[in-house]
Structure 1
Amino acid sequence: MSVTIENLGNLDRKITISFPKADTAQARTARLQKLSKTVKMAGFRPGKVPMKMVEAQYGMQVDFEAQFDHATNLFYDIVKKQELKIAGQPSLEPKSDMTADPVVYDAKFEVFPEVKMGDLSKAEITRYATEVNDAEIDKTLEVLRKQRVHFHTRGEESAHGNGGANTAAQTGDQVTVDFVGKIDGVEFAGGKAENFTFVLGEGRMLPEFETASLGLKAGESKVFPLAFPADYQGKEVAGKTADFTVTMKKVEWPHLPEVNDEFAKSLGVAEGVAKMREEVRTNLTREVKRRTQTLLKSQVMESLTKICELDVPKGLAAQEQERLIANARQDLAARGIPNAKDAPIPAELFTAQAEQRVKLGLILNELVKQQKLEAKPEQIKAEIEEQSSSYEDPKEVMRWYYSDPKRLADVEALVLENNVVAYVSSLAKVTEKAVSFEELSQVQ
């Protein structure tokens, strides 16, 4: 056997492997004998076909399989002896006829690149800080109140009153209307409805429609012009002006539950308002921690890809591209798109993303190896304990994590990333910035 290794570029390599044809003789015979036991030919029972006939029909196929497998085994032996770090799958091609002796194969492959880490002290990162105060808790409770709103007819007495003396539709009211629209005196598709319900001020209807409905009492009507935007989803009316008649059928005012012990119970907190506020504070604090860590991690990862230099293996990028396309198809299927598995998805849409993900993965691997940032068992346990703490039965959730190696691997990957973030942050130029809870949710 002879071996030649060629450097075809920064990462591309080629190994030319040559071996005597006799090296595959034993494997060839074994394959033919195995085939002879199952092959079917007219006039012969299975297993009784003469070996010469089996060889005549399948000899070329068996030659190729035996030679290819032997070349593959030799390739990986060479890789091991030469301590080559292969990125992706190699491509083996015969360079000689199958009848030739010796047999010659070319194996083309890529090696992992050298990662130049760069100066991490040049990374510029913003660490956000948010205080969870009483005002933030009040805002959250207000959102929870609005989620539990119910409506009463204006002017009619109920357990919560009659909504006041003014029975006209107001912002926040739920109204039920009949309407009909006409363009040049002719009704159009989708321009008519009966007993249509919406809440004024939520922006569900076009502004002209909401304005016309405001101030109407049950039984009153109003005629008004409505100009459809040029980009309106209904193409047949987009850019046109219609005359609408809206008739108010019912006006209902919103009643929000009071923040009291009964409201706390409706949220599953039997201990009352104080305990409810405590739990809201805990949840908001957990959300702040998650959000600030996510923002910090995003900045660290972006900094690493900018500061570190390496060549991206084309094979790994192609594999990642295929994985992203598969994920896109799964997403389409989850949305109920018909024939999602056959939907045309241009691969180039994911080229840059795939290369970036591969690059970041290689940088992280190198950084973890250099700085020994692997996730430790006690770190994994602490992360699982924290994630489990928000559930009713934390111990059961912990058992759920530890019962599945894949779940554990996901947590290990998360801890490893956190270790990288902590290490890079300790070297980078970090700016502390205090923001409100609302501002934190809007930071990109």
Structure 2
Amino acid sequence: MTEQNEQVVETVEAAQEENPLQRTLELKILAADLNNAVENRLTKLAKNARMPGFRKGHVPMKHVRGMYGMQAYDESLNELVGQAWAKAAQESGLRIAGTPRIDARPAADNEDTLVFVATFEVFPDVELPDFAAMELKRYTCTVTDENVEKTIDVMRKQRAVYNVAEGRAAADEDRVKLNFKGTKNGEAFNGGTAEGYVFVLGQGRMLPEFEEAVRGMKAGEKKTFPLTFPADYGIQDLNGAEVEFEVEVLEVAEPSYPAIDDEFAAGLGVEGGVEKMKAEIRANLEREIAARIEAQTKGGVMEAVSKTLTFRVPAEVLNNECEALAEQAMRDLAARGMDVSKFPKPSGLVFKDQAERRIRLSLFVEKLVDEKGITVADEDVRKIAEGIAASYEQPEEVVNYLMNDANRRNNIAGQALETKVTEWILANAKTEDVAVEFDDVMANKF
């Protein structure tokens, strides 16, 4: 094919100023190439063409052209335009985002050539921020013997046996059964009445003022007391509302806790006694703490980076990400047992800010990894896989499965890359190591 009939890039130009990512490419198709493509396609169609009075494949070409001419023209033109676009896009060297809009340009004096214009967006140039100016935090937490003992105590209390105690004044850790009725301005309010309601004092299931009023009461006793709901209670009619409760205690039960011994350990599925149980609980706590600490540290780093990224994102990429987030929201509702057919799919615009943030961070990570040569080795992937597998009975089998399943391995490799990127940023920023208390980590209060 000569230079004249090659489908080449004629222009690469920035389009409107309001969209600095928009570009155009001019595509040319020789009319002779289009005619040849149409004839070739008609010849193929003729082999299976049928018409009354003619055998299959023997319909005269003028009739075949009448039956399939437009179809052959459209299909041939689409194919040639697609080829021209693919070649032009490759030769342009642009990082093209999404699919182009291709429009025919009005015919010029030269009818031997058909001209089209492809309009599209490119990915933005990403400039890395000044990491040395960033002030970041790397969180740390150490699991102590006290934390292990406290966790065991929680597990012990979860296995309490309650015995009804006649004449016992309700105290923390007692199980209380009662009737109550709440009124606002003399009228019962929704959700404020229950009979035979059971809860354990001191666990925080009820409002502090409610529990304080019940402490010290015995079975058969009644009490009326005022209560003010928190301003942020979450129910509009009750936020900050002053109400009154009538309470009647039906039963007070005293807890009896199991001893911490080998039998207790066996009940948790641990063979090897109390010390083995403590070791396993410590290991589980350390994994949980490490995961929470890492997630919080990563989140802080990415939030700081995100604030420095203001570049425009391609519209089609943004729309696709918004739709993906909307679909994920529906899947999350379904996973919670909700009938999503009763809910309208949320508009992708609801997720615009979140989508922009995710795209910018993704492009940032891509740029950083490429420019700084950040890589993930097999041992990095295996380390994460071993952490996941540690809580299973046959961890090595789980590791082998995770390492050999392509999808799961890729997901783990993605996690490893996030970790490597986070570590690189922390090493190049003003990073402060912050020790966090165990209870604050478990309560996500840091």
Q: TM-score, normalising length from structure 2?
A: 0.82
Offset of 1:14 from its aligned partner? 0.4
The 1:206–1:342 alpha-carbon spacing in structure 2 relative to 1, beyond 3 Å, is closer
Secondary structure of 1:353 counterpart: helix
Q: After the TM superposition, which residues 255-334 of structure 1 pair with which residues of structure 2 at under 5 Å, given as runs?
A: 255-307=256-308, 310-334=311-335
Q: What residue is the counterpart of 2:85 in the other structure? A: 75
1:250 aligns with 2:251: yes
User: Contact 1:95/1:106 (CA < 8 Å) preserved in 2?
Assistant: yes
The reply to whether residue 92 of structure 1 matches residue 102 of structure 2 is yes
Amino acid at match of 1:124: E
Q: Quick one: distance in 1 between partners of 2:368 and 2:238?
A: 58
- 1:77/1:395 CA distance change after superposition, 3 Å: same
User: Which of 113, 116, 129 pairs up with 2:127?
Assistant: 116
Please tell me the residue identity of whatever aligns with 1:7.
Answer: A
Contact kept? 1:128, 1:292, Cα under 8 Å: yes
Q: Which residue of 1 aligns with 2:114?
A: 103
Shift of 1:406: 0.6
Cα distance change on mapping 1:43 and 1:411 into 2, 3 Å: farther
Residue equivalent to 1:393: 394
- Count residues with an aligned counterpart: 431
Q: In structure 2, do the counterparts of structure 1 residues 44 and 258 end up closer, same or farther at CA, with 3 Å as the change threshold?
A: farther
Q: Structure 2: which amino acid aligns with 1:121?
A: A
Change (3 A) 1:48 1:433: same
After superposition, give the CA deviation of every residue in 1:235-275 in whole Å (9 maximum; x if it has no partner): 6999685674x443322122232322222222222212222
Structure 1 contact 117–309 (Cα < 8 Å) conserved: no
The Cα shift of 1:107 comes to 0.9
Match of 1:7 in 2: 14
Report the Cα offset of residue 212 of structure 1. Answer: 5.2
State the partner residue of 2:4: none
Q: Which deviates further from its counterpart, 172-181 or 78-87? A: 172-181
Distance 1:183 1:440 in 2: 38
Determine what percentage of the aligned residue pairs are the same residue: 37
In the TM superposition, residue 396 of structure 1 has moved relative to its aligned partner by 1.0
* Rounded Cα–Cα distance in structure 2 between residues aligned with 1:76 and 1:261: 70
Q: Distance in 2 between matches of 1:232 and 1:430?
A: 37
**Matched-pair contact (CA < 8 Å) for 2:29–2:84:** no
Seen in structure 2, the aligned counterparts of structure 1 residues 152 and 117 have a Cα distance that, compared at 3 Å, is: same
1:28-427 counterparts in 2 under 5 A? 28-29=38-39, 31-32=41-42, 55-56=65-66, 59-96=69-106, 102-155=113-166, 166-179=167-180, 193-205=194-206, 210=211, 213-222=214-223, 233=235, 244=246, 246-307=247-308, 310-340=311-341, 343-427=344-428
| Residue in 1 that maps onto 2:3 | none
User: In 2, are the aligned partners of 1:183 and 1:243 still within 8 Å (CA)?
Assistant: no
Q: Contact 2:326–2:345 (CA<8 Å) still a contact in 1?
A: no
Contact conserved, 1:95 with 1:104, CA < 8 A, in 2? yes
Q: Secondary structure at the match of 1:324?
A: helix
5+ residue gaps, structure 2: 1-6
C-alpha displacement of 1:150: 2.6
Counterpart for residue 158 of structure 1: none
Residues 346, 176 of structure 1: CA spacing in aligned structure 2 closer, same or farther, 3 A cutoff? same
2-side partners of 1:206 and 1:426: how far apart? 45
CA separation in 1, counterparts of 2:441 and 2:236? 37
Contact (CA 8 Å) 2:135, 2:431: kept in 1 or not? yes
Q: Is the 8 A contact 2:46 2:58 kept in 1?
A: yes
Contact 1:20/1:102 (CA < 8 Å) preserved in 2? yes
- Pick which of 208-217 and 181-190 moved more: 181-190
SS in structure 2 opposite 1:171?
coil
User: Helix, strand or coil: the match of 1:356?
Assistant: helix
The CA deviation at 1:223 is 5.2
Q: CA deviation at 1:359?
A: 1.1
Deviation of the 1:77 alpha carbon: 0.9
The equivalent residue for 1:161 is none
For the residues of structure 2 that align with 1:232 and 1:299, how far apart are their CA atoms?
28
- CA distance in 2 between counterparts of 1:323 and 1:310 reads 21
Which stretch of structure 1 is more off in the superposition, 104-113 or 197-206?
197-206
Aligned mates of 1:143, 1:44 — CA distance in 2: 88
Worse-matched range after superposition: 199-208 or 81-90? 199-208
Partner of 1:87, secondary structure, is strand
SS of residue in 2 equivalent to 1:4: coil
Which stretch of the first structure deviates more once superposed, 9-18 or 53-62? 53-62
Kindly provide the CA deviation profile for residues 4-62 of structure 1, in whole angstroms up to 9, marking residues without a partner as x: 32221532110121212332334434555666788999999998987656654654344
Unpaired segments ≥5 residues, structure 1: 156-165
Instruction: State the TM-score, normalizing by the size of structure 1.
Output: 0.82
Conserved? CA contact 2:171–2:216, under 8 Å: yes
Question: Which whole-Å CA distance do the structure 1 matches of 2:191 and 2:125 have between them?
Answer: 62
Does the Cα contact within 8 Å between 1:17 and 1:71 map onto a contact in 2?
yes
Over 3 Å counting, the alpha-carbon distance change for 1:185 and 1:372 in structure 2 is closer
Where does residue 28 of structure 2 map in the other structure?
A: 18
Q: Secondary structure, in 3 states, of the residue corresponding to 1:118?
A: coil
Read off the aligned partner of 1:338 and give its amino acid letter: D
Deviations 1:358-384 (A, max 9, x none): 111111111111222121223223332
> Cα gap change, 1:430/1:34 in structure 2, threshold over 3 Å: closer, same or farther?
same
Measure, in 2, the Cα distance between the counterparts of 1:347 and 1:53: 50
